[in-house]
Structure formats: C-alpha cells, structure tokens
Amino acid sequence: MSPLLRRPPRAVVFYALATAFSLLGDQALYALLPIYFEEIGLAPIHVGILLSANRWVRLITNHVAERASAWLPSRLLILSALAAGALMTVVYAFAENFLILLAARLMWGLAWSFIRHISVMAVASVAGDNLGQMMGYYNGLSRTGSIVGIVAGGFLFDQLGYTNTFVVFFLVSTLALPLAASAGAGRAGDAGERAPGQGPGGGNGALLVCGFSVGTVGPGLVMSTLGFILASRYGNAVSVFGVLVGIASLNGLLLGSRWLLETIGAPALGAAVDRVGAGVGVPAAFAAGIVGLLCLWTFPSLGALTLGVMGFFLCGTTLQTVLAGEASARGSRVYARFASASDAGSACGPLIGWSVITLVSDASVVFIFGAVIFVAGLIAARKAF
C-alpha cells in the first residue's frame, strides 16, 4: 500500500459495505422503473415523482436523523433503518399502485437519512487526521452498491424479470444488518465538533453553499441532461474505434464512470487533499471543475467530451468526499444541514437543466450554467476554509 494511503479501520469498512448493500434496491429502481413502469400501470409523470420523492423528503428527514442520533443508540437506529430500507425493496417488487410506491420511496428517503448520517458520523469519529482519506474509503466502498444495483439489476431483469430481481436484491440487502451490528463504532454524535478557521456562522453557511453547488451540478444537472446532450450532438449512435455504439449505451457508460471513479479514486483523492489541506484542495477542485465544464461546452468532439466528463466527475468525487468529511468534523448538526443542502441541489439540478434545454436551442448551454454555479461554490469555498 502506498505510504500516502492508510488502512481503513474496521468501522469504516463495515459501515461502507452495509451502506452498499442498502443501496441495491434503490439503484436498481432507477435503472428498471423507466423501462417497466407501463406494465405496473404508471404514467411517465409518476416515474419522475417516484425517482425524486426520496430526495425531497430528505430535506426534512436529515434533521430528524440528526436529532434522533443525539438521543438514541446509533446501533439501534441504523439497524432499524437498514431493515426498513430492505423492506422497501420488497414493496418495489410487488406494488402496482402509485400511492403505495410513493409511500415506499418516502420511507426509503427517511431510512437513507439515518443510514448516511450515522455512517458518516461514525467514520468521522475514527478518522483522526486522515478524514478526507477515510471518507474516500467510505464513499468508494459504499458506491459499489450503486454499480452493482444498476449493472446487475439490468442483467437480472433480463433473466428473472422485474419482481424476482427486487426479491433477490431484498435478500442480499439483509447482509447489511450483521455488518452494521459488528462495525464497533460509538454514537453518531461522538465525532469532534471542530470548525477550523471559522466560527459557527459564516464558515458553516459557506460550506452549505459548497454542498448545494456540488449537488446541483453533478448528481443533478449533468447526470440528468447528459443523455439528451449526447443525442443532440451525435444522433442515435456514434462510432467508437470503428464500432457503432448507441447513444443510450454510451450515456450509461459515461454515467457509470462516475461511480467507478468514486470507487477507485476517492481514497487517494481524499488523501491528497488531506496532505495539501482543504483550503487549497477544495478551491482547486472547484476551479478544475469550472474549466472542465467550459471545455465540455466548447469542444464538440466525442473524445474531448468523454475526457471532460470523466475529469469533471473526478472533481466532483473529490469535492463530495472532502466536503462531507469537513461537515461531519464540524459536528452532527452541521453535517445534517450539509446533507440537506446537497440533497436540495440534487433535486433542483434536473429542474434547472431541463428548464435551460426547454428555453435554449443549444443544449450544451447547460454546461455554462453548471460552470456559473461552480463559480459560486468556488467563492464559498474560499470563505468556508
């Protein structure tokens, strides 16, 4: 192992793997519901509501999780949340009613608030001086659940059908329970309450702006519009090294690279920022992301776009890893607010992107809006650190 990297503690690995198992059903729903919704009697608008409802409810439930974790044992809370999340996967398998599915998505949002909050605060409590690196390990390992949910979900759907796919994911997701029970970390509120260089006022507020910016542009704006931008630039298919590749497949590969880069690169990126300091690393990542977004708007070739997207995702991985770690180090309440700011951005990003596409003939202008939002994040980062 490189001297730059340290072996993650048991709690980091176990909480990350438990989180990964919990994500299987949710991520599979993103992949399968847009294909199967008509068979269970849903309208297209229902798909949009169901896939965003869990994010909107977290604006409230993140703070419920923070308050509850200050009073009740973390192990009890996270085991309950993991069990509830797994049960929602069973609801996805058998429900054929929009209201039942909506209730399940809201319940999953509540469960995810507890899973994320308790896990991140536990990681912060054992990270010591390697906060960025340990948060990178947590993010990287936990996002394997996203990769498996999307890729294996599509494969299982073709082999077993919609209902059986979610039944399989329910059974596998229950493995999260013994992992979380054995993680060995203390209460979620045990992480330090530090605020380096800033008091609880402007510094923390600027940190929330950073989180909102990252959530809006990456998970929100870019990921929700990239497929449309690819189709508007290149049509229904494009030649890659002499092989004709459909735009849907290309879009899936590019979006999937985000999770792959996070899994592989997050620990090293977090460790690099630990070494140079967040006051240098966070503004640098925002600046690099701005350059990448402007290049995506400027250069039309497929090769340039592919490199630009992957470079931007690297910047986003760095920012999400370091900012989440910094928020958790400033205390449970600050992290809950940061998580809500990031979730609000993820929910608003698609609305901003598709509004731009509706009003402007050139879909690539979306990247300009993303760059402007990242400029706001860069300015906030200078104040936050």
Of the three residues 159, 190, 221, the one that is the final residue of a domain is 190
How many domains does the chain contain in total?
A: 2
Token duo for residue 100: 């039942």
The values of phi and psi at residue 240, to 5°, are: -120, 110
pTM score of the predicted model: 0.80
Q: What count of Cα atoms within 13 Å lies in the side-chain half-sphere of residue 202? A: 8
Domain range for 258? 202-384
E strand intervals along the chain: 237-240, 243-246
pLDDT at 228: 82
Token duo for residue 242: 């002499």
Asked if residue 84 lies in contact with residue 107, where contact means CB atoms within 8 angstroms, the answer is yes
Neighbouring C-beta atoms of residue 185, cutoff 10 Å: 25
| Share of the chain residues as helix, strand and coil, in percent rounded to the nearest 5 | 85, 0, 15
pLDDT at 190: 47
Same domain membership, residue 97 and residue 122? yes
pLDDT at 237: 81
User: Is 197 among the domain residues?
Assistant: no
Radius of gyration for the chain, computed over Cα atoms and rounded to the nearest angstrom: 20
User: Is 137 among the domain residues?
Assistant: yes
Per-10-residue mean pLDDT of the chain, 385 residues long, equals: 69 95 92 83 85 90 93 93 97 94 96 96 87 88 88 84 94 96 63 45 82 91 82 83 78 77 83 88 95 91 88 92 90 91 89 83 88 96 89
Token duo for residue 90: 């069973």
Same domain membership, residue 255 and residue 107? no
For the domain that residue 257 is a member of, what is the CATH number? Answer: 1.20.1250.20
Asked if residue 113 lies in contact with residue 342, where contact means CB atoms within 8 angstroms, the answer is no
Same domain membership, residue 114 and residue 61? yes
pLDDT at 281: 93
User: Is 5 among the domain residues?
Assistant: no
pLDDT at 213: 96
The CA-based diameter of the chain, rounded to the nearest angstrom, is: 60
